[in-house]
């Protein structure tokens, strides 16, 4: 039995799309996206499956990159057609679970350090040490306009601001020493003034006095998640992130990425084992190979090409309606958005020769990582291959439809991984850091 275990996180959107743009149309999908019970049920299922983490993605605008219009996003229920606030949703889930990590996506470009530090410290306290933060810098012009800007910051400015943002929130979480909250009724001493400190941060982007008005979180600070794939993004991830979400598509690309991130982490003075690389996959599980293929084909049929192209345009920051839809994705595009997504679809185009319209349908149906559709045994084989090749420390599972697709993972795939000794049968400790085998940062 292997000593090292996989980590499993679930990528969920508080909206119509998690793993497939066709997911909300699937007959086993629960359409009540505005119900607290819907998200609590997802949390309970994931905890039943002993998942490390539920990670809620987010964006701050309805994308209009494709043709300068909202129509395709709204009409087809694409990626950004509807998004509930992750922190509010996770607070609802926290009360229905005991061990599941709770990851919220929050932008360093449009949030303020004090408010974010306070909110995540609160979630970490109320959940008993299970909060995580997916750090994004945001790259959509529509998001900038929703926050009073005429244009977004440059990529370098966004990362520069993000670095300082992380420095500030870390200082704020440490502004209360461990044990500063005394609550001695007899003395009386509620909190020890000698152990609560102003931070007096003065920088290019932020001037924050502190201290925070919430005591130090149970985990010291929330677990940091990041998905940077550009060279600058990799450096940012290597400096800060503890979970890195990536979509490499191919196992050899994933091996290179993980090796590179671990080497960069060492250059930043970190233990590389504190960096957990989780490739995103869209597993489709069936009792038989034929059944899994039928679900795969059904999702493909339910996915409209314009839906996937709309989201791909948003991811790349490029209006793909400018190009002939019956021709392939142009090479060497200037991509102001996510470079990792461009490399992913460029590689798929090189291998398959898909036209833009076909690429949109494929991207919308369930992204581009192949080989993860089949019986629990065949999907576990593929996951084990990646894990043992050094391509990952686990996986970020993007469930194609909810809750039916999640039930198949919990009742089919997870037992298979447990049988092979690749995944836990019980939680380790009580906090998310315990589950991930991460140390609690010193104050």
7: left (phi over 0), alpha (psi -120 to 50) or beta: beta
| Structure tokens given for 276 | 């957990």
CA atoms within 13 A on the CB side of 104: 26
Which residue in the block uniquely carries the two structure tokens 């500063």?
A: 180
User: Which whole-number Å values give the CA distances from 15 to 39, 86, 307, 308, in the listed order?
Assistant: 11, 10, 15, 16
Residue 150 counted as an annotated binding residue: no
Q: Is 105 annotated as a binding residue?
A: yes
Q: Could you give the CA distance from residue 247 to residue 279 in angstroms, rounded to a whole number?
A: 5
Conformational region of residue 184, where left means phi above 0, alpha means psi within -120 to 50, and beta covers everything else: beta
- Tokens 């191919």 label which residue? 250
- 3-state class of 139 per DSSP? coil
- H/E run at residue 160: helix 155-173
Cα dihedral 150, 159, 119, 205 sign: negative
Hunting for tokens 């609550």 — which residue is that? 183
Q: For residue 113, what are its two tokens?
A: 């350090």
Query: Whole-angstrom Cα distance, residue 366 to residue 40?
Result: 24
CA gap 238, 240 in Å, rounded: 6
Q: Any known ligand binding at 137?
A: no
Residue 382 in contact with residue 279, Cβ under 8 Å?
no
85 in a known ligand binding site: no
- Residue ranges for the known binding site are 58, 105, 159, 230
- Residue ranges for the known binding site for FMN are 58, 105, 159, 230
């Amino acid at each position: 039995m292997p000593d090292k275990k996989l980590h499993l996180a679930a990528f969920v959107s508080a909206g119509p799309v998690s793993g497939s743009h066709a997911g909300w149309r699937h007959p086993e999908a629960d359409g009540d996206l505005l119900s607290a019970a819907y998200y609590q049920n997802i949390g309970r299922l994931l905890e039943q499956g002993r998942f490390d983490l539920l990670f809620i993605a987010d964006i701050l605008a309805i994308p209009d990159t494709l043709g300068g219009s909202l129509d395709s996003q709204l009409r087809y229920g694409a990626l950004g057609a509807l998004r509930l606030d992750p922190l509010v949703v996770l607070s609802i889930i926290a009360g229905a679970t005991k061990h599941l990590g709770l990851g919220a996506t929050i932008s360093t470009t449009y949030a303020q350090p004090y408010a974010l530090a306070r909110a995540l410290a609160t979630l970490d306290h109320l959940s008993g040490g299970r909060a995580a933060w997916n750090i994004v810098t945001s790259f959509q012009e529509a998001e900038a306009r929703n926050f009073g800007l005429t244009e977004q910051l440059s990529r370098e400015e966004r990362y520069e601001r993000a670095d300082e943002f992380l420095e500030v929130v870390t200082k704020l979480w440490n502004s209360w020493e461990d044990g500063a909250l005394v609550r001695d009724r007899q003395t009386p001493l509620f909190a020890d003034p000698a152990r609560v400190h102003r931070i007096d941060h003065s920088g290019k982007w932020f001037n924050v006095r502190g201290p925070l008005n919430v005591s130090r979180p149970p985990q010291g600070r929330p677990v940091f998640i990041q998905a940077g794939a550009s060279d600058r993004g990799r450096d940012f991830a290597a400096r800060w992130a503890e979970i890195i979400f990536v979509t490499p598509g191919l196992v050899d690309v994933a091996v290179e990425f993980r090796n590179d991130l671990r080497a960069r982490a060492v250059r930043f003075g970190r233990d590389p084992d504190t960096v957990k690389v989780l490739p995103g996959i869209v597993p489709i599980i069936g009792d038989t190979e034929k059944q899994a293929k039928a679900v795969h084909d059904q999702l493909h049929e339910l996915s409209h090409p314009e839906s996937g192209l709309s989201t791909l345009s948003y991811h790349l920051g490029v209006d793909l309606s400018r190009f002939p839809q019956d021709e392939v994705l142009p090479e060497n595009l200037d991509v102001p958005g996510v470079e990792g997504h461009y490399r992913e679809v460029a590689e798929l185009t090189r291998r398959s020769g898909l036209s833009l319209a076909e690429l949109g349908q494929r991207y919308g149906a369930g992204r581009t990582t192949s080989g993860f559709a089949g019986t629990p045994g065949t999907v576990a084989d593929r996951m084990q291959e990646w894990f043992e090749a050094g391509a990952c420390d686990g996986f970020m599972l993007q469930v194609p439809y909810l809750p039916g697709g999640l039930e198949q993972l919990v009742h089919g795939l997870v037992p298979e991984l447990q049988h092979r000794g690749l995944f836990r049968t019980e939680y380790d400790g009580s906090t998310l850091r315990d589950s991930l085998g991460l140390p609690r940062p010193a104050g």
